[in-house]
Amino acid sequence: MSVELLLTIVSASLLGSTHCAGMCGPIVLLMLGRGTTTQPTASTQNVAGRLLCYHLGRLTTYVTLGMLAGILGMTLNKTGSLLGWQRLAAYLAGFTMLVSAGVLLLRQLGVRLQHLPVPQRWVKGIYAGFRWAQRWPALLRSWWIGLLTTWIPCGWLYAFVIVAAGASDALTGGVVMLAFWLGTVPMLSLIGMGAVQLSPLWRQATPWIAIAACLLLGWSMLFNRSVLNFESLHHQLAGVKLTTSTVPQLNETKLPCCHDD
């Protein structure tokens, strides 16, 4: 995977991190005790420590998810190589990103499209995990909350998981999600520190940023990563043909040990 694509992922994640702020910002504030009046306000040092553990928890599951997606992409590539399609995972990833951009655009234009159903038991299980850790030490609780946050259904997050699958390698998939994580750290940290509040104008721009990111990443995956390799398929078929034509000749050839003296 090129450095340019990784920089694109970091930039897209950074620009679109307002989406993360809207979804995960309240969780960060509650983790720090700033969303309730019953908990004392933590000191700046404590806030920084909790934020660090929270981000490390997210990083743990982000990279794990990226590596699993990379393994899935590698499996798809092995299947595609039998058909001469060496970058099947990248092609599917790019196509999916372009479709996602189209869906987001239609929704922005007012077209009503049904959302995929989210299993309520799954979401309730995640929030039960949040409550389960309430009595834990602050740093461990923050890491655990970050760990669970990744599993809250989020289309923005899973768009980059698709890119990780297109990388078709466990290590590279993990690097993709590391790049995505880097882009989300500044905004969530600033919200946790109480140093920033999102303006309505920036919130309105978030969907358009997501559309642009999906288009850019989809285009990059399709035309920089996916390559149709019909020559490989021809070589494989030629090998099968050669083997098939050689078998009758072997049947008619006498072995040296069987020649009459």
How far is residue 156's CA from residue 144's CA, in Å, rounded to a whole number?
A: 21
Mapping DSSP to helix (H, G, I), strand (E, B) and coil, where does residue 38 land? coil
pLDDT band per the 50, 70, 90 thresholds, residue 14: confident
Mean of all residue pLDDT scores within the chain:
74
How far is residue 27's CA from residue 145's CA, in Å, rounded to a whole number?
A: 8
Q: What are phi and psi of 228, to 5 degrees?
A: -80, 125
Region of 110 please: left (phi>0), alpha (psi -120 to 50) or beta.
Answer: left
Buried/exposed 55-78: b ≥16 CB within 10 Å, e otherwise? bebbbebbbebbbbbbbbbbebbe
pLDDT digits (tens, 9 = 90+) for 47-75: 888 999 999 999 999 999 999 999 998 88
- The amino acid occupying position 123 is V
- Is the pLDDT score of 139 beyond 80? yes
CB atoms inside a 10 Å sphere around CB 170:
18
Pair 89, 177: CB distance under 8 Å: no
CB atoms inside a 10 Å sphere around CB 102:
14
Structure tokens at 195: 């140093």
Average pLDDT over residues 191-212: 68
pLDDT value of residue 247? 45
Percent of the chain with pLDDT over 90: 16
Percent of the chain with pLDDT over 70: 69
pLDDT value of residue 236? 45
Which residues, in sequence order, are bridge partners of residue 228?
85
Highest mean pLDDT among 2-11, 108-117, 171-180, 248-257: 171-180
Structure tokens at 89: 């995972």
Mapping DSSP to helix (H, G, I), strand (E, B) and coil, where does residue 192 land? helix
How far is residue 127's CA from residue 139's CA, in Å, rounded to a whole number?
A: 18
Q: What are phi and psi of 85, to 5 degrees?
A: -105, 95
pLDDT digits (tens, 9 = 90+) for 70-94: 999 888 877 766 555 556 677 777 7
Pair 62, 180: CB distance under 8 Å: yes
More confident site: 86 or 128: 128
Average pLDDT over residues 203-226: 72
- Of 12-21, 36-45, 104-113, 236-245, least confident by mean pLDDT is 236-245
How far is residue 221's CA from residue 243's CA, in Å, rounded to a whole number?
A: 37
Pair 161, 69: CB distance under 8 Å: yes
More confident site: 33 or 243: 33
Kind and range of the H or E run holding 227: none
- Residue for token pair 């008619």: 252
pTM (2 d.p.): 0.71
